[in-house]
Structure 1
Amino acid sequence: MKRLSVLAAVVLIGYICHYDIKNGTIPSSYTEQPAQEVMNMTKEAVDENSKSYNIVKVRAGDTVLSIMEQLIKGPIPVPIDQLIKDFKHLNEIEPEEIQVGKEYKFPTYK
């Protein structure tokens, strides 16, 4: 009986891990508000005069990287260093200092 209980627990934990990796547990209902000036943006640094970004309200558990992956619906097309540089340029704040409930500008990449 003990072995059956251990086997059931292992199967349950395996299913939970599989579901979490495949679907995730954080809902993805971000409110995207496109900027008023939307121009084409390449993988280069964000220029002050030609911005393209989304404004997103941060929720509990969000990071700059997780929000960007949700916006793009996949991996980011630029190196993380470039993303951090662009985020700092748009918001004048370190990515580690974002606060829950506040809105920040996130760069748009094509």
Structure 2
Amino acid sequence: MKRLVYLAIAIIVILGIQNDLTGSTLSDLVQKDDKTSEAQTNQTEEDPPPIPSQEVIIESGQTVLSIVERLHNGQVDESIQEILADFSVLNDGINPNEIQIGQTYRFPLYTKQ
């Protein structure tokens, strides 16, 4: 009787592994990851940054807002939220509050309309 139970458990485990590897959850995840990374690679290689920008090396005491104001001679009409969102887009999703001294980041440049 024990042998029959062990055999049934082994068959269930083997079928479960086969299902994951051939046509179910695991193979779907691998295919999605491949498509996502391929799309990201194509997008980064072909598309220029959607917002005009300038690279700046961060120095002690600087913030995203202080640098954007300096780049625009203190005259920025965009909202703080828009500036921070544009900074994050230009820098692959980096949180504007986590910039580091000595690192180079892209800062949005706005034209007056």
State how 1:65-76 maps to structure 2 within 5 Å. Answer: 65-76=65-76
Residue type of the partner of 1:90? L
Indicate the residue corresponding to 1:106 in structure 2.
107
Q: Distance in 2 between matches of 1:50 and 1:102?
A: 22
Q: Which has the larger radius of gyration?
A: 2
Cα–Cα, structure 1 residues 57 and 49, in superposed 2: closer, same or farther, change >3 Å?
closer
Indicate the residue corresponding to 1:82 in structure 2.
82
State how 1:6-45 maps to structure 2 within 5 Å. Answer: none
Q: Provide the aligned C-alpha RMSD in A.
A: 1.7
| TM-score (normalised: structure 1) | 0.54
Residue type of the partner of 1:87? F
* Conserved? CA contact 2:51–2:86, under 8 Å: no
Unpaired runs of 5+ residues, structure 2, are: 1-46
Unpaired runs of 5+ residues, structure 1, are: 1-46
Q: Distance in 1 between matches of 2:84 and 2:107?
A: 10
Q: Distance in 1 between matches of 2:100 and 2:49?
A: 27
* Conserved? CA contact 2:54–2:106, under 8 Å: yes
| TM-score (normalised: structure 2) | 0.52
* Percent of pairs with identical residues: 41
Following superposition, which runs of at least 4 residues in structure 1 exceed 4 angstroms of deviation? none
